[in-house]
Amino acid sequence: MSLVELIARADERALAAGGLACLDRCLPLLGGDDEVLRPLWASLADGSGWAGDLARARDLIGAGRPAGDEAALLVHRMLESAPAERTAGALRPWADACSVASLGVHRLLDPAAGPGPDAGDAGRPDAGRADAGDAVGPSPLVAAELRRQAMVLELLADHGAQGLRRALEVTVEGRRVLRAVVSRRARGTAEAGARAGL
């Protein structure tokens, strides 16, 4: 089943987890505490509302937005557009938008996904979501993010609330990968600046 189909069939909890997981994996772009979204995960586990925790997360993360960083702006939009009411009707468009935004973040950060003239359909932020068997495959970082997004939705579809722990583990693994990519990019930028100053 494609990612688009998984989102279309997901229930309220799976949609919330799918969108939250995309946001959580992209946190390294904002330089925030890895635990800042943990209360939102806890609310999914116990079925409580998340409006208060969502507002606190926005307060904690909002001040650190890097100006002019396209990838970081995508992450902020995920957080700012999260619905306070956890209903399937409100969550489905958000989860879908988070999926596209997270893939866009990974595409922007993947050195193998340079948006050159030959990138074709694989250069689109949503490439691979509708057809996992696309002959023009996404870059490695984007392909891994596609797999993680599908895995989170499948875990919730198959196991309900019991799948949340494994979904969080998949998300933490993806966050570590992206943090390493962000760190390498920062080192590369610093080295380029140092060379330019010589």
Task: State the pLDDT at residue 194.
Answer: 59
Confidence band, pLDDT 50/70/90 cuts, at residue 93 = very high
Q: What is the pLDDT of residues 175-191, one digit of tens each?
A: 999 999 988 887 766 55
Confidence band, pLDDT 50/70/90 cuts, at residue 2 = very high
Residue 89: CB atoms within 10 A of its CB come to: 10
Average pLDDT of the chain to the nearest whole number: 85
**For residues 171 and 148, is the Cβ–Cβ distance under 8 A?**
yes
**For residues 151 and 170, is the Cβ–Cβ distance under 8 A?**
yes
Confidence band, pLDDT 50/70/90 cuts, at residue 118 = very low
The CA distance from 25 to 9, in Å, is: 23
Task: State the pLDDT at residue 31.
Answer: 77
**For residues 189 and 111, is the Cβ–Cβ distance under 8 A?**
no
Q: What is the pLDDT of residues 128-178, one digit of tens each?
A: 676 644 435 688 999 999 999 999 999 999 999 999 999 999 999 999 999
